[in-house]
Structures are given as C-alpha cells and as structure tokens.
C-alpha cells in the first residue's frame, strides 16, 4: 500500500513538473517575435544581415516570410527542378525498354509474336527498334526545346553603338529587353542615408511596438508595422489567448544600437538596425490576473524598418543574432 502511494506521488510530481516546463518553455522568449526570425527585407530577405558592434555575429537567416524567393536571392533549401527532357527520356522510355526486354524473355515479346527466348533474332530486332525510337524521340524533343536562332553567331546591331543600348559593363540591355537575356531583372539598390532623426524613430518604434503588443492593440500594431508583421503578431496573441495568458511587457530601454545595413529599392527605403535592449517580461493569467512568470532580461535582435514616400518608418522584419 505504501509503495503504491509513493508511486502515485512520484507520478503526480513528474506530471506537475512537465506542466510547469510546458508553461515556462515559451515564456523565456515571450516578447514580440518569440525569439524567431520572420518578415521581409525586400531583395535581401534571404540574406543574413551584416555584423555590427552590437551584433558581432550578424543575423540569422529568415525563417518565415511572405516574400517569394527568387533565383537572385539565394534562398536556402531551394533546389533546381530536374530537366523535363532528361526526366522524360530517362523514365518513360527506360520503362518501355524494360517492358520490351522483359516481355521478350517471358515469351510475349514487345509485339507478342517473335517467340521470346527461342527467337534471338526477334529479341535483337525489338531492342534495336526501341533504341531507334528513343533516339528519334530525344532528337525531336531536343530540337523542340532549342530557342530560335540557337547556335547562330551573334550579329552586331546598330543599337550596340547607341548610348544606353547595352547595360553596365557591356552587358545585356536593361529595361524591357532584359527579359530576353535571363528573365526579370532584380531591383537596383541605391544608397540611403540614415541620420539622428531616423535613429530616434527606430528607438521610439521599439518601445511603442512592445507596448502595443503588451496591450494587444492590433490597430496600433497595424500603424507601426507592415501587414505581414501584424499577421505574425496576431498569431502569437491568439496563441496566448488560447492558453489563457497575457504577455505584459514594460520598462523597455535601448542599451545599445547601430546600423547594420541601409539601402533603397524602387521607392522604398530599408534600414536594418541591431538593438540590444532591456525589458521586463511578465506572463499573466488572463482570467484571474495571477502572475504566471516574470523575467527581467536583455535581448539583442536585428529589426528592419521600411519607409515609403510621404510616410514614416514601420517595422518589416525581426531577426535573431547568431
């Protein structure tokens, strides 16, 4: 009896410990972003931010983004699809060849009338016929897939002598004609100068976004962040609500910050800033107001802001440091 009671107590203690760890696990990274890397940085979305004195190891690559990776972005994990012609010739016709040989050995043959093993001449005829069909088919599809004028020598045009007819360093023409020389041209980056007023805006956004997240104020978050970032924040807030807790953040103070990168694409300016800041992070039970966990700590993250003509800076990405 005593042994049974002791066993039950041990099981209850283990269950309580597991429940405590389950609640405490996400709290260590309960601030906006949850310690992840997500958002968009234009054409640099899948490029890790540069190292700075505040973030000597640089930033981590993006884990979640609504920006579709392009060939020029170097997205990790992207693999080039197999060539359709190669897969067609290596799969479909190989299957036909195997079926013909198997049928011949079993006696049915490719056409069912040459006597199988007893007719070596018929077998050789079938193999030769299949090889001929494969060669003709591959030649047909190879010619079909060749672009018009492939293999023809380059003819010098009078456009070559006109200013602007060719791209930088004598490359292919820019603009609409660039589509004929390798697809869509990536956006050209331009220099963006960041001054004291911009740094003040970044520091202000750091505190205002943390405060709005703490109050679960989705309207304010929408004014301070891109729609993509608001979607991620809303997902975190809904997860907190499902668990019956509220993440209260206060005493946010920027301790150190510096610029990692700044650039412009088309009409949009970007700035990625490394920031080390202190905060008080408290998880409160939604129904009773009981404090579930409290943590006063520091965090170092890289925040990317974007700005469009006539508008202020808004948050577009959060990335963790290496």
Kindly report, residue by residue over 195-228, the tens digit of the pLDDT. 999 999 999 999 999 999 999 999 999 999 999 9
**pLDDT on residue 255:** 98
**pLDDT on residue 18:** 44
Distance CA 318, CA 256 (A): 17
CA dihedral for 219, 221, 222, 227, sign (positive or negative) = negative
**Does 220 map to a domain?**
yes
**Does 195 map to a domain?**
yes
**pLDDT on residue 300:** 97
**Closest C-alpha among 250, 251, 258 to residue 303:** 258
* Positions in the chain whose pLDDT score sits under 50: 2, 5, 11, 14-28, 75-106, 108-111, 113-114, 116, 145-183
CATH of the domain at 282: 3.10.450.240
Q: What is the pTM of this model?
A: 0.59
**pLDDT on residue 182:** 44
**Does 167 map to a domain?**
no
Residues with Cβ within 8 Å of residue 146, at least 6 apart in sequence: none
Name the domain count of the chain. Answer: 1
**Does 222 map to a domain?**
yes
**pLDDT on residue 299:** 96
**Does 13 map to a domain?**
no
**pLDDT on residue 238:** 97
**pLDDT on residue 172:** 37
Domain of 245 in residue numbering reads as: 33-67+189-320
**Does 44 map to a domain?**
yes
**pLDDT on residue 165:** 36
**Does 278 map to a domain?**
yes
Q: φ, ψ for residue 209 (rounded to 5)?
A: -70, -40
**pLDDT on residue 70:** 73
**pLDDT on residue 256:** 97
**Does 20 map to a domain?**
no
């Amino acid at each position: 009896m005593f042994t049974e009671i002791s066993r039950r107590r041990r099981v209850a203690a283990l269950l309580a410990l597991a429940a405590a760890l389950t609640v405490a696990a996400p709290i260590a990274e309960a601030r906006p972003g949850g310690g992840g890397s997500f958002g968009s940085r234009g054409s640099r979305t899948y490029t890790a931010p540069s190292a700075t004195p505040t973030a000597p190891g640089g930033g981590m690559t993006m884990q979640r983004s609504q920006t579709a990776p392009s060939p020029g972005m170097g997205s990790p994990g992207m693999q080039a699809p197999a060539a359709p012609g190669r897969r067609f010739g290596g799969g479909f016709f190989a299957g036909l060849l195997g079926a013909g040989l198997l049928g011949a050995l079993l006696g049915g043959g490719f056409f069912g009338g040459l006597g199988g093993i007893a007719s070596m001449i018929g077998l050789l005829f079938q193999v030769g016929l299949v090889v001929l069909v494969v060669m003709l088919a591959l030649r047909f599809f190879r010619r079909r897939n060749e672009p018009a004028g492939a293999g023809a020598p380059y003819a010098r045009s009078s456009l070559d002598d006109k200013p602007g007819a060719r791209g930088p360093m004598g490359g292919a023409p820019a603009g609409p004609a660039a589509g004929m020389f390798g697809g869509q041209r990536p956006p050209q980056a331009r220099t963006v100068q960041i001054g004291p007023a911009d740094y003040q805006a970044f520091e202000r956004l750091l505190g205002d976004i943390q405060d709005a997240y703490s109050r679960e104020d989705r309207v304010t978050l929408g004014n301070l962040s891109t729609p993509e970032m608001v979607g991620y924040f809303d997902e975190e807030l809904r997860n907190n609500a499902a668990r019956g807790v509220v993440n209260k953040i206060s005493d946010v103070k920027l301790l150190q910050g510096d610029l990692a990168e700044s650039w412009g694409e088309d009409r949009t300016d970007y700035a990625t800033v490394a920031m080390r800041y202190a905060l008080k992070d408290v998880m409160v039970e939604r129904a009773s107001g009981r404090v579930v966990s409290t943590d006063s700590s520091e965090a170092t993250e890289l925040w990317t802001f974007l700005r469009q003509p006539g508008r202020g800076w808004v948050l577009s990405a959060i990335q963790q440091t290496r």
